[in-house]
Amino acid sequence: MNDISPTIAVHKPTPHESASRHVSGAAIYIDDMKQKEGLLHAWVICSTHAHAKLLNVDLSAVAGAPGVACVLTAADIPGMNDAGPILPGEPLLAEREVTTIGEPIAVVAAATLAQARDAAGLARITYEDLPAILSIEDAVAAESYVVAPMLLKRGDVDTAMAAAPLRLNGEAQAGGQDHFYLETQIAQAEPGEDGAMHVFSSTQHPTEVQHIVARLLGRPLAALTVEVRRMGGGFGGKESHASLIAGMAALCANKTGRPVKLRLVRDADMVITGKRHDVNAKFEVGYDADGHILAMDMEIALRCGNVADLSGPVLTRALCHADNAYWLPHVRVRGLAAKTNTVSNTAFRGFGGPQGVFAIEAVITHLAAALGKSADEIRRVNYYAPGRDITPYGQHIGADNLPRVLAELETEIAGRREAVAAFNASSRLLKKGFAVMPVKFGISFNLPTLNQAGALVHVYTDGSVHLNHGGTEMGQGLYVKIAQVVAEGFSIDLEHVHVSATRTDKVPNTSATAASSGTDINGMAALAAVSTIKGRMAEVAAARLESVPEEIVFARNRVYAGNRSISFPELALACWADRVSLSATGFYKTPEIHFDQASMTGHPFYYFAHGACGVEAVIDTLTGEARILSANLIQDCGTSLNPAVDIGQVEGAFVQGMGWVMMEELVWDGQGNLKTHAPSTYKIPTARDVPPVFVTKLLENAPNAKPTIFRSKAVGEPPFMLAIGCFLAVQEAVAAAAGWERALTLRAPATPEAVLRALRG
């Protein structure tokens, strides 16, 4: 059917479907739902030791406390005590041993939240401490890993290294990051008839919540329904860790027969749930006098915490992004998944990509410093180019929009480098730095199976449309984008498409909304459902309009056969009258992709998203304080489905990335206690930190070379890595003040302390 008018709904800057409800407070999150009769509130009793045997867990005082309906330990789990999303052996509630502070040992449910919290304080737990591994270094020294080391390689690194005219060694480190979603983790479980349960979960992955609750309760999947209308942010933190919260709520609901809500308060959320993996990278590079990378040998070690969770795939993506935008003829990247007695780190926007990109950008910086050239010159000679366009894992780069992005950026930032140099020549205490940061990010889940989606579309007899799909809404604008796709498909105004909560009983067996591919895959699934319904409607229209289905055109709320037409609602009613189904499911699987995890080769990404930015930073050499003065961003969103939402995603991702590399610092003490578990001690960027000059543009006239949904490109994660440019600009400023030898010691986040340490040595 070649009847899609390209302009009724897609490619328009339509507001987020909940925008006015978000700002007026009318959007209903799980904690805002009308309180159910008999609702219990839960609280988690956690380990206070990093690694210890549980000698005795005495919960008698908890059980007898006012208002308490139940307190459950591992022994009370009717099914399997395992919440591992990929690998088995990740208990929900600790049994004989605890392996991190914050590990749940028991969960208590009481009539009020205060009663649950007070009761939890009465638990008497005795521990026998065991040796704890807290740092990446100690884990690597002990060969303590959550998954086996990985090796990504191409060519003959040793020979190329030995033959290279120049060689250098270096390292790079970046800290972790808390997701700091505005809505903390929450679930409400409501027992139904006959062993059924309905779970409201703030999750990016309703199907996984369904699986893990089923496993814990020993119930069939069909007995469980998981629903999520919206999250107050997820950022990867609600991909696998939401099932821990839902699992504990479900256990209490199952035990008591009453609805149970578990909402973590901020401090508990920060201690109990995982974060971005902090990274240590070490490298040796063989290069020539022009700065060409001839051989690269790198080791990337991530702090994974006490269990594997998603760390295997996160590490895989880190390795698959250790090239960023550069051609590496001979390369070996070893990946180490350090197992430590700290909270299990998990998905976070970029999913390992940022760590890999951070590492190779450090290589670029080291080469520039060693050769006395600008980082831009080093980048220029190393970018992927025709004939030098195969990634280390063997995928051809395909359509490469980075040269266009960079060319446009150069006109945006013309004169900035010179202005910064002039400023530095005359300023003693304040020093500026300027950096350009390119990003290439692979779109698709590395594991091919996950690249599938489903949708369910109903047309009612008044022509209004009900839309459901497997993707979840966490603020990123997925719901409005898919509604735009459906409106476009039927060629009706967007207001006729009603989005509904994501539910496992409407669209089953879904993937997480993650890897930035929510729109790509759910949009295609929704469009497939629309096509099915339109095919049936076209037959009815043809009969009514005395034409043939092939001649029927859906356009602007009407359906045409030549000059004759009827309105879309009239046709919907006519279909019903003719006993034609107006409901269909749609399904999509991403084509072309494959990946062999053992050899780390294949074609894991359907396409790449490109972006670049220019960032100007200033540091105060007396206090170490750094500020970003300007940022010019250009992101390739293909033909954007919704430029307003996409620009919001680019801006938001950049500011969140700024937080990672500039200010958000997780501090643990020597016993493994997280000391920064509230906004009082953990500094996230706020409106004041947004650069005063902040210009975001989408690459124009850049339809995706692949036939993605209306030729758009994914946007959720790629621009996060642009913010690494903030770190690089600060590093340039440190170099301007104290020389490159000092500047290369800078660690992320570039807090005032870190900048001072780098300046003073």
Can you give the binding site for ligand MTE, defined by CB under 6 A? Answer: 233-236, 349, 474-476, 478, 513-519, 649, 652, 714, 716-717
Q: Are 498 and 466 in contact (CB under 8 A)?
A: yes
Q: Name the closest residue to ligand MOS (Cβ).
A: 236
* Interaction mask 219-258, ligand MOS, x per CB under 6 A: -----------------x--x-------------------
**Taking a C-beta distance cutoff of 8 angstroms, is the pair 468, 500 a contact?**
yes
Q: How far is the CB of 513 from ligand MOS (least distance, A)?
A: 7
Which residue, 92 or 231, has its beta carbon nearer to ligand MOS? 231
Binding-site partner at residue 354 among ligand MTE, ligand MOS, none, CB < 5 to 8 Å by type: none
Can you give the C-alpha Rg of the chain in angstroms?
Answer: 27
709 binds, among ligand MOS, ligand MTE, none (CB under 5 to 8 A by kind): none
Smallest distance from the beta carbon of 711 to ligand MOS, in angstroms? Answer: 22
> Which of the listed partners (ligand MOS, ligand MTE, none) does 518 bind, with a CB threshold of 5 to 8 Å by partner kind?
ligand MTE
Which x/- pattern over 146-185 shows residues binding ligand MOS (rule: CB under 6 A)?
----------------------------------------
Give whichever of 347 and 362 is closer to ligand MOS, judged by the CB atom: 347
Q: Which residue number places its CB atom closest to ligand MTE?
A: 518
- Site residues for ligand MOS, window 83-122 (CB under 6 A)? none
Q: Which is nearer to ligand MOS, 348 or 608 (CB)?
A: 348
Task: Count residues near ligand MOS (CB under 6 A).
Answer: 10
| Residue 168: closest CA among 61, 285, 289, 280 | 285
296 and 157 Cβ atoms separated by less than 8 Å: yes
Residues 288-347 that bind ligand MOS (CB under 6 A): 347
Supply the residues annotated as catalytic: 717
- Which residues is 151 bridged to in the sheet? 334
**Residue span 511-540 as binding mask against ligand MOS, x where in contact by CB under 6 A, dash where not:** ---xx-------------------------
The pair of structure tokens assigned to 695 is 């210009």
Sheet holding 40-46, edge to edge: 68-72, 104-110, 40-46, 260-263, 186-191, 197-201, 224-228, 502-503
For residue 119, what are its two tokens? Answer: 């009761």
User: How far apart, in whole angstroms, are the C-alpha atoms of residue 323 and residue 126?
Assistant: 48
Cβ–Cβ under 8 Å, residues 262 and 194:
no
Q: Which is nearer to ligand MOS, 236 or 247 (CB)?
A: 236
Closer residue to ligand MOS, CB minimum distance, 515 or 699: 515
**Residue 146 and residue 306: Cα distance in Å, rounded?**
8
As a whole number of angstroms, the distance between CA 400 and CA 386 comes to 9
SS (H, E, C) 598-660: CCCEEECCCEEEEEEEEEEEEEECCCCCEEEEEEEEEECCECCCCHHHHHHHHHHHHHHHHHH
Nearest residue (CB) to ligand MTE, 299 versus 520: 520
Bridge partner list, 176:
none
Q: Under the criterion CB under 6 A, does residue 348 sit at the interface with ligand MOS?
A: yes
Q: At what angle do helices 724-738 and 643-658 cross, to 10 degrees?
A: 40
- Return the one option of ligand MOS, ligand MTE, none that residue 233 interacts with (CB less than 5 to 8 A, by type): ligand MTE
Report the partner that residue 601 touches, choosing among ligand MTE, ligand MOS, none (CB closer than 5 to 8 A by kind).
none
Nearest CA to 695 out of 621, 634, 628, 623 is that of 634
Supply the minimum distance, in Å, between the C-beta of residue 515 and ligand MTE. Answer: 6
Contact 486, 469 (CB under 8 A): no
Least distance CB 389 / ligand MOS (angstroms):
26
User: Residue 474 binds which entry of ligand MOS, ligand MTE, none, with Cβ cut-offs from 5 to 8 Å by kind?
Assistant: ligand MTE
**Contact (CB, 8 A) for 474 and 231:** yes
Provide the minimum distance between the beta carbon of 237 and ligand MOS in the complex, in angstroms, as a whole number: 8
Q: Is 351 in the site for ligand MOS (CB under 6 A)?
A: yes
**How would you class 88 by CB atoms within 10 Å of its CB: exposed for 0-12, middle for 13-18, buried for 19 or more?**
exposed
How far apart, in whole angstroms, are the C-alpha atoms of residue 188 and residue 708?
36
Nearest approach, Cβ of 96 to ligand MTE (angstroms)? 35
* 729 part of the interface to ligand MOS, by CB under 6 A: no
Q: In angstroms, what is the minimal distance from the CB of 450 to ligand MOS?
A: 11
Least distance to ligand MTE, CB of residue 408, Å: 23
Site residues (vs ligand MOS, CB under 6 A):
204, 236, 239, 347-349, 351, 514-515, 717
